[in-house]
Amino acid sequence: MTRHFLRDDDLTPAEQREVLTMALQMRSDRFAQRPFEGPQAVAVIFDKHSTRTRVSFSAGIAELGGYPLVIDAASSQMGRGESIADTARVLERMVSAVVWRTFGHDRLEEMAAHSHVPVVNALTDSFHPCQILADLACIADARGGVAALSGLDLAYVGDGANNMAHSYLLGGATAGMHVRVGTPEGYLPNADVIARATQIAEETGGSVTVTHSHDEAVRAADVIATDTWVSMGDEGEKEAREQAFGAFQVSDRSLELAAPGAHVIHCLPAYRGKEITASVIDGEQSLVWLEAEYRLHAQKALLTWLVAQ
Ligand code: CP
Ligand code: NVA
């Protein structure tokens, strides 16, 4: 059966370790895998803005021997109302995989339901699982390997209801991490996602905590993560969000509370002085540029793994 990657928990813990291990190998031997030799095309479709996702998938598919077919959805017939199902039925006859960044997660599920080639989530309103794979691979690289992930304390502070929060919960729990989300009232993660992450954590030895305290979230954390307070689609709430999230900024004080030598990650784009201070993101404990580079390696590993199933 065709395997898709729509949510972080679409990979079992063992499968996630396999993909992450391959991602680290990809970094040291960049052209070792050529699953799209031909070149076979992979569609990379965008309903929302992107820099890293567009570039990392494009470069990555080319490095895998393939042809990245980057499509601005608004200029395709989907932009004029052609159904997702019909689009999937056409794409699967011509491309080896479909990567899509869109709004509602149900749209991606519909594409996957009608596709016999792997469909990959390049970000929806609900999840950003390729980013978490990259984050986990980056942390593993910085800490001596994939086995080092299990048991780490990962604190995510900021918008607890956004795609990154949900993916840290599911992906972090899958990796056996102790995931703590610090977020103000009114921005709690989706209850089903918390329940699923808790269930996964019970299997992997990790844990899940959601708190309204920044300090409780980051205290003794090995890794601190944050994300923009205003995700794509939330622009109309900018002022209210900046007020609500003020106490959840990642600053030098966050690092004082965290474990010595804690690492800081941010999926980018970052807004210095808002969710993170310049001193932290540009400081010695920040991994953000290696993290961005890992988008390339992790997605190449994921695509290679998916088409081999
Ligand atoms: N982190 C991330 O997904 O970046 P882009 O929005 O630039 O793709
Ligand atoms: N939460 C952010 C992530 C951007 C990569 C957004 O959805 O805009």
Task: State how far the Cα of 138 lies from the Cα of 265, in Å rounded to an integer.
Answer: 9
pLDDT confidence of 217, banded at 50, 70, 90? very high
Ligand 2 contacts CB of residue 16 (under 6 A)? no
Residue that the structure tokens 């001596």 belong to:
144
Token readout for 79 is: 């932009």
Strand order in the sheet with 95-101: 67-72, 41-46, 95-101, 119-121
Report pLDDT for 187. 98
Report pLDDT for 223. 99
pLDDT average, residue stretch 130-151: 98
pLDDT average, residue stretch 115-133: 99
Task: State how far the Cα of 111 lies from the Cα of 117, in Å rounded to an integer.
Answer: 10
**Residues 3-42: b if buried by 16+ CB within 10 A, e if exposed:** ebbbbbbbbebeebbebbbbbbebbeeeeebebbeeebbb
| Helix ranges, the chain (H) | 13-28, 52-63, 84-91, 105-113, 129-142, 163-174, 191-204, 214-218, 238-245, 252-257, 278-281, 288-308
Task: State how far the Cα of 126 lies from the Cα of 152, in Å rounded to an integer.
Answer: 24
Report pLDDT for 290. 98
Between the CA of 218 and the centroid of ligand 1 the distance, in Å, is: 24
pLDDT tens track for 269-278 = 999 999 999 9
In contact, 303 and 35? CB cutoff 8 Å: yes
pLDDT average, residue stretch 25-46: 98
Give SS3 for 250. strand
Report percent pLDDT > 70 for the chain.
100
pLDDT average, residue stretch 82-90: 98
**Percentages of the chain per state (helix, strand, coil), in multiples of 5:** 50, 15, 35
pLDDT tens track for 49-76 = 999 999 999 999 999 999 999 999 999 9
Mutate to test the pocket of ligand 1, among 276, 295, 299 (most ligand atoms within 8 A of CB): 295
In contact, 103 and 47? CB cutoff 8 Å: yes
Ligand 2 contacts CB of residue 267 (under 6 A)? yes
- Residues with active-site annotation: 101, 128, 131, 227, 267, 295
Report pLDDT for 262. 98
Q: Output the average pLDDT for the chain.
A: 98
pLDDT average, residue stretch 191-199: 99
Task: State how far the Cα of 34 lies from the Cα of 31, in Å rounded to an integer.
Answer: 7
Report pLDDT for 21. 98
Cα dihedral 148→170→270→285 (10° resolution): -20
- From the CA of 49, give the closest atom in ligand 1: 6
DSSP-derived pairing of the beta strands 178-182 and 153-157: parallel
Ligand 2: residue whose CA is nearest its atom 3 = 231
Ligand 1 contacts CB of residue 268 (under 6 A)? yes
CA 237 from centroid of its chain's CA atoms: 23
Report pLDDT for 194. 99
Q: What is the residue-wise DSSP string for 7-36?
A: SGGGS-HHHHHHHHHHHHHHHHSTTS--TT
Mutate to test the pocket of ligand 1, among 50, 100, 289 (most ligand atoms within 8 A of CB): 50
Ligand 2 contacts CB of residue 228 (under 6 A)? yes
Ligand 1 contacts CB of residue 167 (under 6 A)? no
pLDDT confidence of 185, banded at 50, 70, 90? very high
Task: State how far the Cα of 176 lies from the Cα of 279, in Å rounded to an integer.
Answer: 30
